[in-house]
Amino acid sequence: MRKLLALVALLTAPMLPGQTPVLDSLLRVLPEQRGAQRCRTLSEVQWELGFRDAQRALAFGAEELRLAESLKDSALIAQALNDMAITEYRLGRHRHAIDLNKQALRIRTALHDSVGMAASHSKVGVAYTDLMEFDSALAHNYSAARIYAGLGDVLRSAQVRGNIGHLYQQMSDLPAAERITRETVAILRGQQNDYALAAAIGQLCQVLQHMNRPDEALAAGQEAMALYEKVGSKMDVANLNNELGQVSRHRGDNDAGLAYYKRALELGEESGDLNGVATYALNVAKALVDLGRPKEALPLFARSVALCRAEGYDDQRMSALAGWVAALERTGDLGGALALQKELTDLRDSVYSTQRLSALTDMQVRYETERTEKELAEERQRGLEQENRIVRQRLLIAISTGSALLVLLGAWLVVSRQRARLKAERDAAIIAEREQGLKALVESTDAERKRIASELHDGVGQLLTGLRMRMEAGASGAPDWDELKVLAIDAGNEVRGIAHRMMPRALGELGLAPAIGDMLEKTLKLPGMRHAYEHFGLEGRLPPELETGVYRIAQELVTNAAKHAKAQLVNVQLMRNKGWLILIVEDDGVGFDAQRRSAGIGLQGLRDRARVLRGTLAIASKPGAGTVATLRIPLSNGYPE
């Protein structure tokens, strides 16, 4: 009862400071709504409130999910899961967001809700990107892009492809980033959407700049600029001017770079973009210093630092202070440089090192030479005392350093012994693991031999025995040639079936990707079973031993999902990406405790197969949440890229 009262109090709380009129209106009508209408309003409340108080928004999301489940409306349940995933993402709980989105994805797949499926794939991709799990992020983004393209939604497909381009940039695969971005630009040129096209061309500008092709980057940036100006997006025009300033300076044209930076600053001021103004003012100042005009740069450094102080942009403030100190030194204002250097040091929150003390002392000495002779006489004695203190400090530092080295030497000896012991234990564990893996392979080989022997005995053997008996019976009279022919054909078909199960024809004739597709069709053609299969970047053939090994691993994973996991949906993705072959098999089955069963014979056998291919197999699962298996094989490690 207390929990119920607390929830009611939370959901009916008065309007919060900063609460929008839209949110206030939704909260007023909510108490009188019921059923599906209340579900939809709860969804809107969670969205609006999530920008201000994500924890409170989650309470509305929990009610939305409970109500949808009580209504037994699958579409509303999927929407509630989707809404809660967004809120969890805002709270920084990316794993929770992924789990909720995957639940929504399974429901939407069962409902054949293509738009919802694409949206779920896209959100999962974003969360995986933030977790730096780029393989999974790529797979889900490619799925979203394919669905949007199939629906004819060119703009959303292009947006997701832009995300894929950014992913390749983060993975330092710049050729792939350029390819996907150029394809996106080509798609958008036929659409009447200048803003989306400008964003794609602007992204291409960044990629080309990172690829050290400034001339091409400049041309792309200027085209994107014209489109942004056409739609009147000042902040985007300002940001692109700043980007083109960097490109121009990369080309060695500092004057053009300065002009672009100044234009960015002007537009940033007009649009009220404080972060942008701080950045653009700093870049203008740096360009002026590089052009030999440090005095003109000083007010801009001061402005950038003041904005950074006011808005809390500490990283940018450090950069601006460092530039300001250098500019003051070039203009001869060593006193001002010294004061700012101290502020910069305080901001970095670091203890003066010997080098820092030396630098400050040197700056102080240069500053002193500009003062009167009388002041120098008064300061000389203090300077000597300061020097003596520094000598004593250096002596103490030397003694401390020697002591520290002795301590480190002792620690190194201890650590070396520990490492030797740990290495011995690790080697023993590896040997034990390999022995277990060898045992698993031997057992699986014996099981395979027994299965083949059983099939030969029960199938081919029986047919050949029947054929022999009928031939012997026909020795005394006219044999039934038609019946003998049928038996011979059946025996041949049985032998071909066994051979096909040992080495599928599709694998030898067509390659890995078509063979896995053929295997999925045959293995998962069961009542109540669905599957999805996608592959990217496998236009050419791979070495036969690699194709066979990956096929066998995929076959066993899919068989496990069908027979043991009680799965209704199996998703398989196969891709070749920047020197890696990646296979992902995901099911919605009962799952298991991956920590407790990681050493089981079946999983160990799969990992040993992966190790033979110089790859790794990761299994992620928990009871009731399905299983995700990810096989990664480096193509550069003995295989052609």
In the chain, the amino acid numbered 30 is: L
Q: Which structural domain range is residue 334 located in?
A: 273-363
Residue 329 lies in a domain: yes
Instruction: Report whether pLDDT(346) > 50.
Output: yes
pLDDT score at 16: 45
Which tops the pLDDT comparison, 363 or 217?
217
Instruction: Report whether pLDDT(579) > 70.
Output: yes
Which tops the pLDDT comparison, 475 or 234?
234
Place of tokens 């003694």: 399
CB 338 within 8 A of CB 324: no
In the chain, the amino acid numbered 569 is: L
Burial class of residue 288 in the structure, from the number of CB atoms within 10 Å of its CB (0-12 exposed, 13-18 middle, 19+ buried): buried
pLDDT score at 408: 63
Place of tokens 């791979």: 542
Residue 546 lies in a domain: yes
In 3D space, the residue among 3, 2, 24 whose CA is nearest the CA of residue 13 turns out to be 24
Average pLDDT, rounded, for the chain: 77
User: Last residue of some domain: 313, 341, 363?
Assistant: 363
Residue 614 lies in a domain: yes
| Direct distance between the N- and C-terminal alpha carbons of the chain, in angstroms, rounded to an integer | 63
- What distance in Å separates the CA atoms of residue 241 and residue 247, rounded to the nearest whole number? 10
Residue 198 lies in a domain: no
Residue 497 lies in a domain: no
Give the pLDDT confidence of 224-253 residue by residue, as tens digits: 888 888 888 888 888 888 888 888 888 888
The CATH number linked to 584 is 3.30.565.10
Using pLDDT thresholds of 50, 70 and 90, give the confidence band for residue 435: low
- What distance in Å separates the CA atoms of residue 311 and residue 298, rounded to the nearest whole number? 20
Residue 342 lies in a domain: yes
Given the DSSP bridges, would you call strands 530-536 and 569-577 parallel, antiparallel or unpaired? parallel
Q: Give the alpha-carbon dihedral of 585, 589, 590, 591, to 10 degrees.
A: 10
Using pLDDT thresholds of 50, 70 and 90, give the confidence band for residue 359: very low
pLDDT score at 276: 82
CB 189 within 8 A of CB 222: no
Share of the chain above pLDDT 70, in %: 71
Q: In total, how many domains does the chain have?
A: 2
Angle between helices 194-210 and 234-250 (to 10 degrees): 20
In 3D space, the residue among 64, 52, 144, 148 whose CA is nearest the CA of residue 100 turns out to be 64
Using pLDDT thresholds of 50, 70 and 90, give the confidence band for residue 2: very low
The CATH number linked to 300 is 1.25.40.10
In 3D space, the residue among 197, 204, 218 whose CA is nearest the CA of residue 174 turns out to be 204
In 3D space, the residue among 547, 554, 456, 555 whose CA is nearest the CA of residue 498 turns out to be 456
Who contacts 116 (Cβ-Cβ below 8 Å, separation ≥6)? 78, 82, 104, 108
Who contacts 200 (Cβ-Cβ below 8 Å, separation ≥6)? 158, 162, 181, 184, 185, 188
Using pLDDT thresholds of 50, 70 and 90, give the confidence band for residue 64: confident
Using pLDDT thresholds of 50, 70 and 90, give the confidence band for residue 81: very high
Give the pLDDT confidence of 494-508 residue by residue, as tens digits: 666 655 555 566 677
Residue 357 lies in a domain: yes
pLDDT score at 366: 44
Give the pLDDT confidence of 202-220 residue by residue, as tens digits: 888 888 988 889 889 889 8
DSSP 177: H
Share of the chain above pLDDT 90, in %: 4
Given the DSSP bridges, would you call strands 627-634 and 580-587 parallel, antiparallel or unpaired? antiparallel
pLDDT score at 121: 92
Burial class of residue 414 in the structure, from the number of CB atoms within 10 Å of its CB (0-12 exposed, 13-18 middle, 19+ buried): exposed
Who contacts 67 (Cβ-Cβ below 8 Å, separation ≥6)? 35, 38, 39, 42, 76, 80
Residue 231 lies in a domain: no
Q: What is the CA radius of gyration of the chain?
A: 34
User: Last residue of some domain: 334, 363, 392?
Assistant: 363
- What distance in Å separates the CA atoms of residue 516 and residue 533, rounded to the nearest whole number? 9
Q: Give the alpha-carbon dihedral of 100, 101, 104, 105, to 10 degrees.
A: -140
CB 223 within 8 A of CB 201: yes
CB 266 within 8 A of CB 235: no
Instruction: Report whether pLDDT(591) > 50.
Output: yes
CB 478 within 8 A of CB 514: no
User: Last residue of some domain: 340, 363, 386?
Assistant: 363
3-state SS track over 545-569: HHHHHHHHHHHHHHHHHHHCCCCCE
